[in-house]
Amino acid sequence: MSKSYPSDSVGLVSPQRARFSEPLPLRCGREIPEYELVYETYGELNKDRSNAVLICHALSGNHHAAGFHTPEDRKPGWWDSAIGPGKPIDTRRFFVIALNNLGGCDGSTGPQSINPETGKPYGPDFPVMAVRDWVKSQARLADRLGIQQFAAVVGGSLGGMQALRWSIDYPDRIRHCVIIAAAPKLSAQNIAFNEVARQAIVRDPDFHEGRYLDHNTYPAQGLALARMLGHITYLSDDSMREKFGRDLKSGKLNFNYDVDFEVESYLRYQGESFSNRFDANTYLLMTKALDYFDPAADHNHDLATCLSQARCEFLLASFSTDWRFAPERSEEIVTALIKAKKKVTYMEIDAPQGHDAFLFPIPDYFSLLSTYLDRVAREGGF
Amino acid sequence: MRPDFEIIQQWIPANSEVLDLGCGDGELLAYLHREKQVRGLGLEIEHPQIIECVRKGVPVVKQDLNKGLHNFSSQSFDCVVMTQSFQQMDKPDEVLDELLRVGREAIITFPNFAHWSARGYLGLKGRMPMSKALPVMWYNTPNIHLCTFKDFEELCRQRSVKILDRLVVDSLHQSRWFINLMPNLLGEIAIYRLTSL
């Protein structure tokens, strides 16, 4: 590790690649004949392989959860605040795995990959993924790494849904399930936001029904709009007011339709930078996976019955100003877990940041996470 | 261990399921889990206390007890415990109903406002009583619905609550023979074990 990194950083990391030739049957009825997963690991796997923690990423995340890829990187991985030596997910004790989900656009097999059946990129033909498909592929990666049981599976937002799915589908392979700022299923309002985002993309003239690569174009405008909309829902009214207020970009009103307010400039920047790095088909796929997630549907819509299969202990956290997945949504999971007589700890954390709070080192939140995981490590004897 | 916990634990059978309302740092539940294999869940609102529970491995949910126990199904716990929080509730009468809806039994402790020292304090000094059991000034006390043993037992009668056991103790939670001669005058804290009629 270079000395130029902070002592609580995992430092320089390199992604790894695992190739799977066994077909993966999917929720949608199709299968992927072969695929690759890109992942990163931080820390050391102990002798009895009991100290592994899986980090599941949210909508726009990937395998790069902590540390830096090159010494020149300005930004570390997306959850660097929580993962590292001495941080809540302490890499001196845990072996941490983060991967790019199937259908992603950061190296794992996805819409940009070559379809072995046609020799051309999958594009819109890439199967729509469900959360359980990701979990299945993650379990196969765990097999590959020799990990029979995770000390904990951890995720925020869409990542929290994967953690929840792990507890249901692989009850013997997970000791603790950490679900942050998630929901047992999307509300109609959530789905509506996702649909507007998808429409922004598919109505972009450069979308070409998802075959933009064949046309050498890219629906950058649509994707930017989708991200702008998403971004608004991830922040809270308070955090936007605090960050931008009604501050003017040029100090005066222009009486045209260019950028007047700082918040407009910020959203445009966020939208554009996102559309430069993210694949439009992946965005459609990830939002659909969110919409479809509803584990209780297989159990007569009774979440408690569904969760009675789980054997792990649960930690849930929500944030007071999160309106995309409000605390009440986490409480639905908590109530079902209590009813199913599972061990559960839950805390709503006062935080102004909205849904995005799960990425910030908020003291109450991090003390909860680190105290819980400290206990997980103590119980595991590492 | 806190002396009132010492008393309470005698009333909780091994392997039972216990909900502790206002569980503080989780000491009681940790003890019950360790010594009696009790499956416990604590509700608490203070962050540092919740963290202490997490450190001890006690499952805990952050919840404001004044908002009720709507997220718990009826008769889902063998015993619901509430120590020294009853007098701090917005609506203690409704809390009592909720305790016995969720639990087959309930254990409640609270300070007695009719203790001779409180009577003397108000009677002689003309000021709101302060004592070991009531150590806070009237304006910043969390105890907003103080009552006496007689008041509480009258409430139980009205609400069809059966008193299974009552232990009246001093502020150190010690039982003394003479207290039971005139409990409403001499008892500082009561520990009640209740069930629905």
Among A331, A341, A367, the residue with its CB nearest the CB of B71 is A331
Same domain, A118 and A54: yes
* Domain termination residue (choose one: A288, A318, A342): A288
Residues of B in contact with A331 (CB under 8 A): 71
Cα–Cα distance measured from residue B129 to residue B123, given in angstroms and rounded to the nearest whole number: 9
Nearest CA in chain B to A314: B59
Let me know whether A32 and A122 are in one domain: yes
Helix, strand, coil percent content, chain A, rounded in steps of 5: 40, 15, 45
Are residues A166 and A219 located together in one domain of the fold? Answer: no
DSSP-derived pairing of the beta strands B39-44 and B17-21: parallel
Q: Given A113, A157, A275, A308, which residue is catalytic?
A: A157
Q: Is residue B130 part of a domain?
A: no
Verify that A247 and A315 share a domain, yes or no.
no
Enter the ipTM: 0.93
Same domain for A59 and A181?
Answer: yes
Asked if residue A49 belongs to a domain, the reply is yes
A344 interaction partners in chain B (CB closer than 8 Å): 41, 59, 61
For the cut 80, the answer to whether the pLDDT of residue B178 exceeds it is no
- Quick check: A344 and B41 CB within 8 A? yes
Q: Which residues of B touch A367 (CB under 8 A)?
A: 47, 51
Q: How far is CA B3 from CA B44, B174, B182, in A?
A: 21, 8, 22
Q: Among this protein's residues, is A157 annotated catalytic?
A: yes
CATH number of residue A344's parent domain? 3.40.50.1820
Of A261, A288, A315, the one marking the end of a domain is: A288
What's CA B190's distance to the chain center, in Å? 9
Which parts of chain A register pLDDT below 50?
Answer: 1-2
Q: Decide if B62 touches A, using CB distance below 8 A.
A: yes
Q: Decide if A322 is catalytic.
A: yes
Q: Which of A288, A321, A341 is the last residue of a domain?
A: A288
Residues of A in contact with B23 (CB under 8 A): none
Assign residue B10 the CATH number of its domain: 3.40.50.150
Asked whether residue B138 is domain-assigned, the answer is: no
Structurally, chain B folds into a number of domains equal to: 1
DSSP string for B18-40: EEEET-TTSHHHHHHHHHH--EE
User: What pLDDT, on the 0 to 100 scale, is given for residue A3?
Assistant: 53
- The answer as to whether A1 is a domain residue is no
Residue B180 has pLDDT above 80, yes or no: no
Residue with tokens 């701090």: B88
Assess if residue A6 is contained within a domain: no
pLDDT at A1: 47
Q: Do A368 and B54 touch (CB under 8 A)?
A: yes
What distance lies between CA A254 and its chain's CA centroid? 39
**How many CA atoms lie within 13 Å of A22's alpha carbon, on the beta-carbon side?**
8
Shortest CA distance to A151 belongs to which of A189, A186, A178?
A: A178
* Chain B interface mutation, best of A178, A308, A332, A345, highest count of B Cβ atoms under 10 Å: A345
**A356 has binding-site annotation:** yes
Are A180 and A300 contained in the same domain? yes
Instruction: For residue A2, tell me if it sits in a domain.
Output: no
C-alpha distance across the termini of chain A, in Å: 23
- B78 in reach of chain A (CB within 8 A): no
Do the domain assignments include residue B44? yes
Query: What's the CATH number where A197 sits?
Result: 1.10.1740.110
pLDDT of residue A138: 98
Calpha distance A340→B41 (Å, rounded): 13
A227 in a known ligand binding site: yes
Q: How far is B193 from chain A (nearest CA, A)?
A: 24
Residue A271 sits at the vertex; the CA angle it makes with A107 and A227, to the nearest 5 degrees, is: 75
Indicate whether A69 and A206 sit together in one domain. no
Count of residues making up chain B: 197
Do A176 and A30 have their domain in common? yes
Examine the domain organization and report whether A73 and A162 are in the same domain.
Answer: yes
CB atoms within 10 A of CB A308: 18
Q: pLDDT tens digits, residue range B32-82?
A: 999 999 999 999 999 999 999 999 999 999 999 999 999 999 999 999 999
User: Where in the sequence is the domain holding A324, given as residue range(s)?
Assistant: 16-185+294-380
| CA nearest neighbour of A284 among A183, A359, A355, A203 | A203
Interface A-B: count of C-beta contacts within 8 A: 47
Using a CB–CB cut-off of 8 Å, the residues of A that contact B are 313, 331, 334-335, 338-339, 341, 343-348, 364, 367-368, 371-372, 374-375, 379
Query: Domain range holding B152?
Result: 3-113+144-196
3-state secondary structure A199-256: HHHHCCCCCHHHCCCCCCCCCHHHHHHHHHHHHHHHCCHHHHHHHHCCCECCCCCCCC
The phi, psi pair for B21, rounded to 5°, reads -90, 120
Check whether residue A262 and residue A166 sit in a common domain: no
Q: Which residue of A has its CA nearest to B17?
A: A341
Reported pTM: 0.95
Q: Does B45 lie at the interface with A, CB-CB under 8 angstroms?
A: no
Contacts of A338 in chain B (CB under 8 A): 41, 61, 71-72, 76
B123 domain-assigned = no
Task: Output the CA torsion B65→B66→B71→B75 (10° steps).
Answer: 70
CA-wise closest residue to A96 among A165, A151, A171, A47: A151
| pLDDT higher than threshold 80 for residue B185 | no
A200 and A144 within one domain: no
**Closest CB to B57 among A335, A348, A375:** A375
How many folded domains does chain A comprise?
A: 2
Q: Residue B77 forms beta bridges with which residues? A: B103
- Examine residue B136 and state whether it is found in any structural domain, yes or no: no
Give start and end residues of each alpha helix (H) in chain A. Answer: 131-144, 158-169, 188-202, 220-234, 237-244, 262-277, 280-292, 303-307, 327-339, 363-380
A64 is catalytic: no
Same domain for A306 and A281: no
